[in-house]
Amino acid sequence: MEENRQPHMLLDPDQMYSELEKKIAATGHDFDLKRIRAAYEMARAAHEGQKRKDGSPYVTHCVAAADISVDMGLDEDSIVAALLHDVIEDTTLTHADIARDFGDAVADIVEGVTKLTRVQYTSKEDEQMENLRKMLMAMAKDIRVILIKIADRLHNMRTMDYQTPEKQRSKSLETMEIYAPIAHRLGIQKVKWELEDLSLQYLDPAGYKEIADSLRDRMPQLERFMKNMEEKIQTQLKSEGIEATVYYRIKHIYSIYRKMYAQKLNISGIFDLCAFRVIVDTIPDCYNVLGLIHYMFKPVPGRFKDYISTPKPNMYQSVHTTVIGSEGIPFEVQIRTWDMHHTAEYGIAAHWKYKMGDGASTVRGGDEEKFAWVRMLLESQQESDAQDFFHDLKIDMFADEVFVFSPKGDVINLPAGATPIDFAYSIHSDVGNHMVGAKVNGRIVTYDYALQNGDIVEIRTSKSAPGPSRDWLNMVKSGSARTKIKQWYKKERREENVIRGREMLEDELRHMGLTLDDVLDEEIIAPILKRLCFATLDDLYAAIGYNGIAVARAANRMRDEVKARSERNEKKTVLDKVSAAADRREQNAKKEVKPVQGVLVEGLDNCLIKFSRCCTPVPGDDIIGFITRGQGVSIHRKDCPNYQQRSHEPQNEGRWIRVAWAKEITESYVTSVSIASKDRSGLVMDIATVLNALNAKVRTLTSRDIGGGLALTNISLEVKNAGELRYVMNRLSAIPGVSSVTRSGEKK
């Protein structure tokens, strides 16, 4: 019997595959189509007879996952692996079968995807979710495993209609809590949005429908509005000679949903449903466009964000602003370069796509800063050509951590190399102290077994357990387990520890040629106990006994104290008093000059410092001091015209002295800059917007018309150093209409 569903055309895998082949050819990469086809043939044969819930042959899912991988810009091995991603889990084929025909890299990826598929998911609180995400990333080892898993999940979500309601809910929840955040972290925004919207559709069908319906009703109006705004922006950009592509869209449903929820609004209360994107060729053009947009429309205060100067951790870069368009409708504008655009759409995948042509060296060279975290991934990699680049790109972000499951499904995060003992103590000290054995994935393991990502760890305990043994201290990797074991010894075995500690100390002292009697003098032992924070001598013995303090450390202290006392006794003579005075004099002479307001003046301590108003120096500038009459030392820049003129005047001889910036400077310095520009409306607003976005502390800002359609704006502001100042000045020069930005004292 056919199920009574919407009429559905069964998918034809061969036809889908030939579409995929065309798409691959269109990418322009010289991927081996024969090899990819062979993978398709292998998958089709292996899944023969299996069906998707909609009745289509199962292999259509594999082709679809490969298709998404191509969209994501992945490499040939990824496409091959995507086609084969379910064969280990669902067919009789093995790692060896895949490795024989397609190589180890592909087989490893497929096995990685299979492992991720087997991880049990149950919804937990946020911190557990974060650990679970990290565990999946760590288990994947090769980042392509994660990307293919995401492609797989995306296709499953797209075809979720055919699943039972329970499955729809649980898969959607998992997608929302695990895969959408991972896609976000990898910077694959397009995929993240689709995953979120698809999940929401099943998690809150009514909420989804409310937004979707409302958007549909308002669509004609919004479309008209966006078209109109787009034309306006395009016209303005053209007249300024800026080459740009403008896109517009309605924001994705889940982002609107989240905003409604967070701000407790209904959809009519959400205004900025429209988003514009302006893509240009260069970074200065981004800021030029920003200036123009703010010139054309009224910006909404507090909505300007500069992710170009401060990229998000997932490499995302753009400037964002929200402005009010005609009809009073606000809309968001994101401005970015093409390069940033590709990264935003496909994240790390796009990065490969665009860098693969010229090899990995590009990543190590020019884009160092931008791809800092990719570089982190690459650290272990000495050299590679474009082919090996993918293969060697391992997820070693979590190399020093291992993630394991408790029998209840909690994810426990431990240092790499951790053992079941670490695990037991991370659950509770009692579990550790009563541990009598451990099982990993159902099998008994030794206490020093190194836990692996994804292991399910079970600790056997007994009331009559003897407690931790001393060699556990050598097996544990986590500081907290070590502390807890020591605590146990401290508490449970005090008598024993006192005796043991005393013996250990005696032994150690004997090696130094001392006895306990030598050190048990009150004058010696009291300051030592105080310094080591012990109330009584027995406490010290006990601590030595349970290894709370190294016996050598205690013994060394005692030896030093004994020595110091005998020296003290020798020294008390009249001569000491004489030499003490000499010491004091020497001390004074050696005293270093202290900086005043961040400036060191040669040979002068604590003198009055003034920063000259003609050139307002800041740390990083080359500076020189001038001894004024009665007003201390005035600090000039070496390129200050006043210094240049007056340094050779005979009446000033000897009054110019060397000064330098102190090594560590905490204060800010007031300096001033002048901006020459066209005299246009909105200019001061633009300057203020840029300064505000940079968090610059502005003291004064004055702007005046200087004739000929030109304006001169003077700003005095606080900066930390010359680098920061240069940065601010660069930003100011990018404002449309600005012809120059100079520091005071500089030639225009």
Gap between the Cα atoms of 720 and 576, Å rounded = 49
111 near Mn ion (CB under 5 A): no
Instruction: In angstroms, give the least distance from the CB of 155 to Mn ion.
Output: 7
Using the rule CB under 5 A, give the single segment among 93-101, 149-157, 165-173, 381-389 that binds Mn ion.
149-157
Gap between the Cα atoms of 562 and 199, Å rounded = 74
- By C-beta, is 80 or 673 nearer to Mn ion? 80
Gap between the Cα atoms of 665 and 663, Å rounded = 6
Please answer whether residues 600 and 660 qualify as being in contact, where contact means their C-beta atoms are separated by less than 8 angstroms. yes
Binding mask 238-277 for Mn ion (x = CB under 5 A): ----------------------------------------
Cross-sheet strand order for the sheet of 609-611: 609-611, 633-637, 623-627, 656-657
Report residue 456: phi and psi, to 5°.
-100, 120
Instruction: In angstroms, give the least distance from the CB of 41 to Mn ion.
Output: 18
Size of the site for Mn ion (CB under 5 A): 2
Using the rule CB under 5 A, give the single segment among 148-156, 175-183, 259-267, 489-497 that binds Mn ion.
148-156
Instruction: In angstroms, give the least distance from the CB of 38 to Mn ion.
Output: 20
Gap between the Cα atoms of 139 and 154, Å rounded = 20
Q: How far is CA 603 from CA 576, 651, 659, in A?
A: 32, 22, 10
Please answer whether residues 137 and 179 qualify as being in contact, where contact means their C-beta atoms are separated by less than 8 angstroms. no
Gap between the Cα atoms of 673 and 701, Å rounded = 10
Catalytically annotated residue among 21, 41, 71, 90: 90
DSSP 269: G
339 near Mn ion (CB under 5 A): no
Instruction: In angstroms, give the least distance from the CB of 85 to Mn ion.
Output: 6
Instruction: In angstroms, give the least distance from the CB of 61 to Mn ion.
Output: 6
Q: Interaction with Mn ion in 466-495: which residues (CB under 5 A)?
A: none
Residue with tokens 């690459």: 378
Instruction: In angstroms, give the least distance from the CB of 81 to Mn ion.
Output: 12
Beta bridge partners of 624: 636
Gap between the Cα atoms of 484 and 169, Å rounded = 42
- By C-beta, is 109 or 292 nearer to Mn ion? 109
Instruction: In angstroms, give the least distance from the CB of 300 to Mn ion.
Output: 44
Please answer whether residues 723 and 620 qualify as being in contact, where contact means their C-beta atoms are separated by less than 8 angstroms. yes
Structure tokens at 193: 């949005």
Instruction: In angstroms, give the least distance from the CB of 15 to Mn ion.
Output: 20
Amino acid at residue number 255: S
Using the rule CB under 5 A, give the single segment among 84-92, 131-139, 457-465, 500-508 that binds Mn ion.
84-92
- By C-beta, is 86 or 686 nearer to Mn ion? 86
Structure tokens at 372: 């800092």
Cα radius of gyration rounded to whole Å, the chain:
35
Q: Interaction with Mn ion in 641-670: which residues (CB under 5 A)?
A: none
Gap between the Cα atoms of 566 and 686, Å rounded = 75
Active site residue 90: yes
DSSP 654-715: TTEE-EEE-SS--S-EEEEEEEEEE--TTHHHHHHHHHHHTT-EEEEEEEEEEETTEEEEEE
Residue with tokens 């907290």: 480
Gap between the Cα atoms of 104 and 98, Å rounded = 8
86 near Mn ion (CB under 5 A): yes
Residue with tokens 């009514």: 206
- By C-beta, is 194 or 539 nearer to Mn ion? 194
Instruction: In angstroms, give the least distance from the CB of 86 to Mn ion.
Output: 5
Q: Interaction with Mn ion in 506-525: which residues (CB under 5 A)?
A: none
- By C-beta, is 86 or 458 nearer to Mn ion? 86
Gap between the Cα atoms of 622 and 664, Å rounded = 16
Provide the angle, in degrees to the nearest 10, between the axes of the packed helices 126-140 and 143-158.
120
Residue 226, judged by CB atoms within 10 A of its CB (0-12, 13-18, 19+), counts as buried
Instruction: In angstroms, give the least distance from the CB of 490 to Mn ion.
Output: 53
Torsion region of 276: left, alpha or beta (phi above 0 gives left; psi -120 to 50 gives alpha):
beta
Q: How many angstroms separate the first and last alpha carbons of the chain? A: 86
Among 67, 108, 142, 152, binds Mn ion (CB under 5 A): 152
Residue 169, judged by CB atoms within 10 A of its CB (0-12, 13-18, 19+), counts as middle
Tally of CB atoms within 10 A around 742: 15
- By C-beta, is 163 or 714 nearer to Mn ion? 163
Using the rule CB under 5 A, give the single segment among 79-87, 186-194, 263-271, 357-365 that binds Mn ion.
79-87
Name 169's Cβ contacts closer than 8 Å, sequence gap at least 6.
Answer: 202, 203
Instruction: In angstroms, give the least distance from the CB of 452 to Mn ion.
Output: 24
Please answer whether residues 456 and 441 qualify as being in contact, where contact means their C-beta atoms are separated by less than 8 angstroms. yes
Please answer whether residues 656 and 647 qualify as being in contact, where contact means their C-beta atoms are separated by less than 8 angstroms. yes
Three-class SS state of 384? coil
- Taking CB atoms, the residue at the shortest distance from Mn ion is 152
Residue with tokens 């502001």: 717
Catalytically annotated residue among 71, 89, 281, 410: 89
Using the rule CB under 5 A, give the single segment among 86-94, 265-273, 547-555, 633-641 that binds Mn ion.
86-94
Instruction: In angstroms, give the least distance from the CB of 454 to Mn ion.
Output: 19
Using the rule CB under 5 A, give the single segment among 82-90, 219-227, 463-471, 696-704 that binds Mn ion.
82-90
| Residue closest to 702 by CA, chosen among 687, 724, 721, 720 | 687
The dihedral over CA atoms of 229, 230, 233, 239, expressed in degrees to the nearest 10, equals -130
Active site residue 19: no
Beta bridge partners of 661: 599
Instruction: In angstroms, give the least distance from the CB of 359 to Mn ion.
Output: 32
Gap between the Cα atoms of 313 and 615, Å rounded = 39
Catalytic residues: 89-90
Binding positions for Mn ion, rule: CB under 5 A: 86, 152
